[in-house]
Chain A
C-alpha cells in the first residue's frame, strides 16, 4: 500500500488537478447557475402555486390554499380560450412556415447561381428582435397610412381604409401569423436545407437509372429522407410559438377584445397586472407540464421516424 504513495502521485498533484477534480470544477459553475436562476425559481413557482400570495402585497399573510389555484385555472373559460388561441397560432404558423420553408430549401438546393448570397438575405428577418420589428409592423399595418394596406389595395383593388389588420376581430390573428411567418420561415428553411444536403447523391443516381420521374423521386426519396429534419423544425418552432409573447404584445397587446390573447399574454396579465401571483404560478406550471409532455411524446415519434 505504501508503495502506491510514490512520488509520482505527489508530482501529479503538483503538476495539476486530477481529472475528476477538473470535471467537477468545469461542470459545477454551469449547474450552480442553472439551479439558482432556473430551477430555484421553478420550485418557488410550484410553492407559490399552492398559496394565495400576491407579489404586490409582500407583507400580507401567506396562506396555503391547497389545489384551489389549479382548480380555478382549469375551470376558467378565459384560460381555455387563451389556450385555444395559442393552439390556433401554433397550428397556422407551423403549417405555413413548414410549407414555405421546405419549398424554399428545395429550390435553394437546386444550387442556382448566387444561391449562397440569397440564402443569407432570406436569413436576415430571423436575426432581428421580434419586439422591435413587431413594433414597426404595427406601423406597416395602419389602415390609413400603412404600406401593407396600400400594397394589398394595389393588387386587389380593395380600398385600403376599408380593412384594419390589427383592429378587426377576424384579421388580427392573421396579422400576427403573417409577421411570425415572415420572421421564422428562414429558420425552418435552414433546418430543411440541412436535411436535404444530408441525402446522398447516389440514391438519386440510382432512381435516375430506374427512370423514376422527378415527381416520384420527390415523394419517395426527398420527403421521407428529409422528414426527421422537418419534424425537428416543427418541434423547435412549436416550443417557441407556444411561448409566443413579444410579437403579440407589440402588435396587438392581446386585442381587439381578447382575440389574440395567447397563453403568455394571459399569464402576464394575471401575474403582473392583476397580481394574482399564486394563481398565475399554477397556470405557469400547467403550461410547463403541457409543453414538456407534448414535447416528450413528439420526440418519441421523431425517434421512431429516425430509426426507419
Chain B
C-alpha cells in the first residue's frame, strides 16, 4: 500500500460505483447458477404430479413423498386389499397407501450411500497418507530421477478413465476385486495419490528444514522429527488435499459404473436408476440427489478457505 493518498482511496482502489456494478453482476450470476440447485431441492419436496405440472410450480404443498419413495420399494394393490390392512405404521405408509400402493421393503439407497461413504473416506485416507509420506520423501531427500518420477506420477491423470477401465476390469476379475469396496478404494487411491503428492510436496517444501534439524539435535530421530514436527506444520495442506481427494472419490462415476454392479455400487451410478411407475420418479431422484449433495455442500462452506488455498496453490505451483 502506498502511503501517498491523492484521493480518499489508494490509487488502485476501485471507486464505490465500480464496486457496486461489479457486485451486482457477480451476485446476479451467482443467483442464476443457484437456480438448478434450488430446483432440485424444491422438486424433492413436491408430489409426483406437482413435479411435472406445467407451468412449473413454485407454490405448492410440500410433502415427504419423494423421500418415502426414495427409501422404499412399493407394490401396487387393489383398494379393497389396502382397506383390509391394519392401520398405517407411519407417515410414509400413509402416503404410499394414498396412492394405492403398499411398501414392499427398503430401497437400495442407504446401502449405496454407505458404499460411497466407505469408499470415499477410505480412499481419501489412504491417498493422503501415502501422498504425505511420498511428498516428504521427495521434498527432503535426494531421490534419483525425482523429476521424472514426479512427472510420471502426474501423467497418470491424463488417461481417460474408460481407457484404463478395460484392463483394470480384467485384472480385478482375475483377483476377485471386481465389485468390492476394497477394489474401488485401491482404484480411487491410485487416481488421487498423484494429486496428493503434488499438492503436499508444495506444502512441505514451505516448511523450513531447520525445524527438523533442531528437533534432531535435541535427540529426535528422523522419524520422530517427521511425526512430531513436520506433520503438525503440514496440517492445513493435508486438510486441503484431503478435501480434493474426497470430492473426487465422492463424485466419481465412470469407474463406478463400469466396475461395480451391485455390492460395491456407489450412489452416483445408482441415483439415475431410481424409477417409479412410468419413467423416472423425479421427486425421489431429487430427494436422493439432495441427500447426496448435502455432505459436499457442508464441506465446501466450512472449509472454503482451505479449498481456495488448495486450488490456487495448485495453480501457482504447476
Q: Interface residues, chain A, CB within 8 Å of chain B? A: 15-17, 19-20, 22-27, 29-31, 33-34, 36-42, 44-45, 48, 55, 100, 104, 107-108, 110-115, 118-125, 127-133, 135-137, 139-140, 144-147, 150, 160, 182, 187, 190-191, 193-195, 197-198, 201-202, 204-205, 208-209, 229, 232-233, 239, 242-243, 245-246, 249-250, 263-264, 267-268, 271-272, 277, 280-281, 284-285, 287-288, 291-292, 295
Shortest C-beta distance, B139 to chain A (Å), equals 10
Interface centre among A122, A128, A132, A239 (most CB of B within 10 A): A132
B67 within 8 A of A: no
Q: Which residues of A contact B189 (CB under 8 A)?
A: 33, 37
> In the complex, what distance in Å separates the CA atom of A239 from the CA atom of B20?
36
Interface size on B, residues (CB 8 A): 104
Q: Does B156 contact A (CB under 8 A)?
A: yes
B19→A16 contact, CB < 8 A: no
> At the interface, is chain A mostly helix, strand, loop or mixed?
helix
Q: When each residue 2-26 of chain B gets 1 if its CB lies under 8 Å from chain A and 0 otherwise, what string results?
A: 1000000011101000111011011
C-alpha spacing A109/B257, complex, angstroms: 40
Say yes or no: B130 contacts A29, CB within 8 Å.
Answer: yes
Residue-wise interface mask of B (146-183) relative to A, using a CB-CB cutoff of 8 A (1 in contact, 0 not) = 00010011011111111111111111000000000000
Do the beta carbons of A245 and B162 come within 8 Å of each other? yes
Contact A263 B160 (CB under 8 A): yes
Query: What are the nearest 5 A-B pairs in CB distance?
Result: A16-B221, A284-B163, A112-B23, A131-B253, A37-B190
The residue of chain B having its C-beta at the shortest distance from the C-beta of A284 within the complex is B163
1/0 contact string of B243-259 vs chain A (CB within 8 Å): 00001001111100110
Contact A41 B267 (CB under 8 A): no
| Chain A residues near B300 (CB-CB < 8 A) | 120, 123-124, 127
- Distance between Cα atoms of A65 and B203 in the complex (Å): 49
Q: Which residues of B contact A (CB under 8 A)?
A: 1-2, 10-12, 14, 18-20, 22-23, 25-27, 29-30, 33-37, 39-40, 43, 52-56, 130-131, 133-134, 136-138, 140-141, 143, 149, 152-153, 155-171, 186-187, 189-190, 193-194, 197, 221-224, 226, 247, 250-254, 257-258, 267-269, 271-272, 280, 282, 285-286, 289, 292-293, 296-297, 299-301, 304, 307-308, 311-312, 315-316, 318
Docked-complex contact B293 and A267, CB < 8 angstroms: no
User: How many A-B Cβ pairs are below 8 Å?
Assistant: 298
Q: Given contacts A23-B143, A34-B153, is CB(A190)–CB(B289) below 8 Å?
A: no
Given contact pairs A145-B53, A242-B160, A37 touches B168 in the complex (Cβ within 8 A): yes
